[in-house]
Amino acid sequence: MGEKAGRSKTGSDDAIYRKVTLYLMPLLITCYTVSYLDRINISFAKPHMMGDLGLNEAVYGLGAGLFFLGYAASEVPSNLLMHRFGPRRWLSRILMTWGLISMGMMLVWSEHSFYIFRIALGIGEAGLFPGVIFYLMRWYPTERRATVTSLFYLAAPLAGIFGAPISGLIIAHMHGTASLAGWQWMFLLEGLPAVLLAFVVWFKLSDTIEGASWLSSSEKVRLRANIDAENVRKPEMGILDVFKNVDVLLLAAILFGIVLAQSGIFFYLPSLIKGAGVTDTVQLGIYSAVPYAGAVIVMLAVGRNSDRKRERFLHFVGSCLFGVAGFLISVWFKHNLVLVLIGLSMALGGVMAVLPVFWSLPTAALKDVSAAAGIAFINSIGLTAGFFAPFIIGFLTQSTNTLDLGIYCVAGIWTACVAVSVVYFTRQKSRSAPATVGASAGAAR
């Protein structure tokens, strides 16, 4: 009888969460797709923009990375303000701000203006990702978050799948129109969707479960009960305590290694493919979409399987090592287009698969304002790697005239973050084991 009731309850929950996912996720994925495109489209503009403005590899690497410094510095304040004003208002503000700044990238005229716009873009976009992760915590319990986060992360490969060919076509066919270069048109046209989405978010999202007019009263009660039951088990933690918590610091260090690898792929993927012999702009955009398509399959499979088995460690480590192997393949066989595409697909698949698993860890331990601060803090520390990756690779490329050493460096740091993850998971295991024994003894008594 109890088993049937449990199955009925789970089935009912599945239907409700399916409804929530179908309502929320298409819009959130679209917003993050545009965000990713506006973040990485600099890699598609790079060859033409550098030539027109007289920029070198080191300048490009520094400018590409400065985005992440502005982003990281603004993460925690942005998420705390979202907690104060509500996700609907704050996410709309973020979309509007970064959309306008992204469009403004068409006005870059020199090295220093390039730096200023990249920093401003990071500040404008700051808070979108941790804000959405915090927002999803208000809707989904821990055991469903890797799956839904992997859906949200579809934005990254989608930005590559659609953004690479679109960017290539804009640059190739709009060049010279209205006396603007192709890369200027690319920034203008690809920044506009963020501005339009700001209005959609304002009218469609609700800040809370209770404010969702598209849910029935019974559905709201069920969703709220699931979230409240989980929050009761989480410890209370002040905002300042978050910044010195050992587990939070370990998670930030782990994310640093992951983002370093992710940034290395995003900013230099077109360059690696070009090095394999693809020189046509349109073809380069099409081939650049291939690794992103492969990453979708890997990411969704890993996220779903991790939730289904309720296992994080093996899924995390396996995804990281799979990605590192892909990095190495893309360098060892850099003149073979097929093997470069396979290697980049593995690297991107590994990094995209590990991220949804990763974000199920802090969201399972933090709640309320500590979650808003903790998620943003972890993400801000991790995202500083987005500054170092293009800077390191750009500097080493400028010094050695090859991408090889920079890619090896990034792969090595990503491998080191696996070692840090072992420390984190070991701490969690040692902490939970006595609690489990104690709970069982209490039940026996």
Q: Calculate mean pLDDT across residues 69-77.
A: 84
Show Cβ contacts of residue 350 under 8 Å, excluding neighbours closer than 6 positions.
261, 298, 319, 320, 321, 322, 323, 324, 325, 326
Task: Using the predicted structure, report yes or no on whether residue 7 has a pLDDT greater than 70.
Answer: no
The DSSP symbol for 178 reads: G
Give the tens place of pLDDT for each residue, 388-413: 777 777 777 777 777 777 778 888 88
Between these two residues, 1 and 433, which has the higher pLDDT value? 433
- What is d(CA 339, CA 234) in angstroms, rounded to the nearest whole number? 46
Q: Taking all residues of the chain, what is their mean pLDDT, rounded to a whole number?
A: 82
Q: Calculate mean pLDDT across residues 229-248.
A: 76
Between these two residues, 79 and 399, which has the higher pLDDT value? 79
Task: Using the predicted structure, report yes or no on whether residue 195 has a pLDDT greater than 90.
Answer: yes
Task: Using the predicted structure, report yes or no on whether residue 335 has a pLDDT greater than 70.
Answer: yes
Select the highest-mean-pLDDT range: 51-55, 285-289, 331-335, 426-430: 331-335
Query: What pLDDT is recorded for position 222?
Result: 92
Query: What pLDDT is recorded for position 22?
Result: 93
SS3 345: helix
Give the tens place of pLDDT for each residue, 13-23: 888 999 999 99
SS3 393: helix
The model's pTM:
0.74
Q: Calculate mean pLDDT across residues 338-366.
A: 84
Q: Phi first, then psi: what are they for 17, rounded to 5°?
A: -70, -30
- What is d(CA 59, CA 171) in angstroms, rounded to the nearest whole number? 21
Q: Calculate mean pLDDT across residues 68-82.
A: 85
Quick one: pLDDT band at residue 220, thresholds 50, 70, 90?
very high
Task: Using the predicted structure, report yes or no on whether residue 31 has a pLDDT greater than 60.
Answer: yes
Give the tens place of pLDDT for each residue, 136-166: 988 998 888 888 888 888 887 777 677 777 8
Share of the chain above pLDDT 90, in %: 16
Share of the chain above pLDDT 70, in %: 91
* Rg of the chain taking only CA atoms, in angstroms: 22
